[in-house]
Structure 1
Amino acid sequence: MEFSPFNNVVKLCLQGMDMEENGKPEEAIKLFQKGWNEASNNFEKFLAAHYIARMQTTAAEKLKWLESTLQFALSTNNDSVKSALPALYLNIAKCYEDLHDTKKAKENSELAISFQNNPSDKGPFYHGTKADLKVGDYLKTGGNSNYKSEIKMNHIYFTALVNGAGLAAALAKGDGVERVYMVEPTGIYENDPNLTDKKFPGNPTRSYRSESPLKIVGEVTDWVRQTPEELQKFREKLANNKGEIIN
């Protein structure tokens, strides 16, 4: 399943996070529980269980929900879910520490370390922009950010979700045509730290960055376009973002 901010369970989790940030935990847990009740596949259950676990006030209850989250994660053959495993195992280890089970705590800490490797995602990968480029060109560091022109880019960002690249193209500054290019990393790459484990567990948007150039190997024209109203909401979120952009 492809992660989408327009999926109903994802929407409920986003609404719950907003309630959390506004100091309304009771409303937040209701929304997360509604997401759990409406979840129809392991990926959606994994997301909802993660947030319900986060709201628990005792180590035992938190552990119960974290272990449910883990089971749904392991049964979902999805690279975006695999990226959540290190943090998930660490959180489980912390619960066992709080419950004075040092053996289980150690086991889960070691599992967390074992999953902290390079991303397993093999693509295909996409980059969304309004720049007019051609096959064989290279995207390189040092340019201005698509979203904040005062920021010089130390990394090139890309995603394995074509719709995510399409959204990035639509939100990019400039009046050019929205373009989504197929790209190949020429060096090592890592999970995008601006997204990974920030709001959603792991890297559900399959977003990555690299200091090495990306080679353009093709262009796609078919992706889901958002409505003007939906794009305006995303632009407002970008404009109101008070968090530091890690670059």
Structure 2
Amino acid sequence: MDIKFDPNNVVIKLCMSGMRLEDSGDNENAITMFHKAWHEATDDYERFIAAYHLARQQKIITVKLKWMVTSLQCALNINDDNVKSAYSTLYLNIAKCYEELCDSDNAKINYELSNSYNGAPSDEGPFYHGTKADSQVGDLLTAGGNSNYKPGLKMNHIYFTANVNSAGLAAALAKGEGRERVYIVEPTGVFENDPNVTDKKFPGNLTRSYRSQEPLRIIGEETEWTKLTTTERRKWRDNLAKNKGEIIN
């Protein structure tokens, strides 16, 4: 199975709406939105995401634990590379619940399971990098470019993803007048989960976004991905302009 994170998925959109309500302090309507996401979920991937957000909202630890275990079970049922990065986060949250319930044995087991999944990414790609730069197969893409998201910020890493539509989004938002390009790339050195998205809105690194201080080698070019409409592009740019969050460089 190969599930791609899709921001247009109905359940993911409901969870994003819930998180916006949460950020505005409206927890009551946020939890209503997460329950709606749970009831509209049609498969284990959607249930895993909805259950996680329901778990976060619970004040009663036993109920929080129940939802977090439900989320984990759905994630394990999927057994997919797009979801494995969430295992460590889910086991960690379960361990903390057991700790609060003074169940040290189950807390210890789940802390150990969390640590066992908390290593370097094992993703084998294929990987993509979105840009407006005109490059050739064999060229190396290196760190040190200007950020697309924060003026004047030079990036210490080069970013890439295993989700071609995420790379297409990066190409659409990239600076420059050239046409949008999505290159197929291979890392030449070690890489890590992008800390700007990992465990931020969703558990783990569901968008399979990575970064490296070592160059990426271009091995091809992808021409098929879901292009943004003019309205979607404007909306993304407006959201980026409003975003005051710090970039972990």
1:149 shift after superposition: 3.9
- Paired residues, number: 247
* Match in the other structure for 2:156: 154
Q: Please say if 1:69 is aligned against 2:71.
A: yes
CA offset at residue 231 of structure 1?
1.5
Q: CA offset at residue 58 of structure 1? A: 0.8
> Are the equivalent residues in 2 in contact too, given 1:89–1:109 (CA < 8 A)?
yes
Match of 1:197 in 2: 199
Structure 1 position 52, deviation (Å): 0.4
Matched, 1:170 2:161: no
Q: What are the residue-to-residue correspondences of 1:25-174 with 2, within 5 Å?
A: 25-174=27-176
| Contact 2:161 2:210 (8 Å CA) reproduced | yes
**Superimposed CA distance per residue, residues 31-74 of structure 1 (whole angstroms, 9 cap, x where no aligned partner):** 11111111111111100000000111111000000000010111
- Please give the alpha-carbon distance, in whole angstroms, between the structure 1 residues aligned to 2:228 and 2:144: 29
- Given that 1:156 and 1:214 are in contact with CA atoms closer than 8 Å, whether structure 2 keeps it comes out as yes
CA distance in 2, matches of 1:165, 1:49: 28
Task: Tell me the distance in 1 between the aligned counterparts of 2:149 and 2:104.
Answer: 46
The answer (yes or no) to whether the contact 1:179–1:219 under 8 Å persists in 2 is yes
2: CA distance, partners of 1:14 / 1:230 = 16
Amino acid at match of 1:98: E
Q: TM-score, normalised by structure 2?
A: 0.97
CA deviations on 1:93-127 (whole Å, 9 max, x unpaired) are 11001111000001101111111111121100000
176-185 or 111-120: bigger deviation = 111-120
- Give, as a single letter, the amino acid of the residue that structure 2 aligns with 1:230: E
Deviation at 1:137, TM superposition (A): 0.3
8 A contact 1:185–1:212 mirrored in 2? yes
Q: What is the CA distance between 1:148 and its match in structure 2? A: 2.7
**Inter-partner Cα distance in structure 2 for 1:172 and 1:51:** 31
Q: Does 1:181 align with 2:183?
A: yes
- Could you say which residue in structure 2 is the equivalent of 1:238? 240
**How far apart are residue 215 of structure 1 and its match?**
0.1
Q: How many Å apart are 1:146 and its aligned residue?
A: 2.7
Find the aligned partners of 1:231 and 1:204 in 2 and give their Cα distance.
22
Structure 1 unaligned residues grouped into runs of 5+ = none
